[in-house]
Amino acid sequence: DQQVNVALITFLVCEVGNFSIHIALRNLRSEGSKARKIPHPTKNPFTWLFFFVSCPNYTYEVGSWVGFTVMTQCLPVGLFTLIGFFQMTVWAKGKHHMYLKEFKDYPTLRMPIIPFLL
């Protein structure tokens, strides 16, 4: 029971984090602008993952799926989570590489999806 409760909290926190990141990314551009900017943390603590990763929306998404997998304790959900993690890692690496190429002053501490690792 405690395992499911912790997984539920993880799921909910990650969903709020994912939403917060999408709002922060939306707010990077003013209406009608095509100019791209480096994503950065805001006052919202859920956006502080931008200090460490280029694609915190994927980090939170994977966290949500891990929480859901633990809650359901279902093998197909676990496989879906694993495959989703691999796919989001590919996307995050591509986005990270694009940021490094486009912005010469891009933060060097950032990794694509998992802080300090990947």
The pTM score is: 0.90
Range of the domain at 88: 2-28+38-102
For residues 16 and 109, what is the distance between their CA atoms, to the nearest angstrom? 24
- Asked if residue 108 is part of any domain, the answer here is no
Mean pLDDT (whole number) for 80-104 = 97
Residues paired with 78 in a beta bridge: none
Q: Are the C-beta atoms of 113 and 99 separated by less than 8 Å?
A: no
107 pLDDT band, cuts 50/70/90, is very high
- Asked if residue 86 is part of any domain, the answer here is yes
Q: Are the C-beta atoms of 55 and 39 separated by less than 8 Å?
A: no
Q: For residue range 47-87, what is the model confidence (pLDDT) as tens digits? A: 999 999 999 999 999 999 999 999 999 999 999 999 999 99
Count up the domains in the chain and report the number: 1
**Residue 112 predicted with pLDDT over 90:** yes
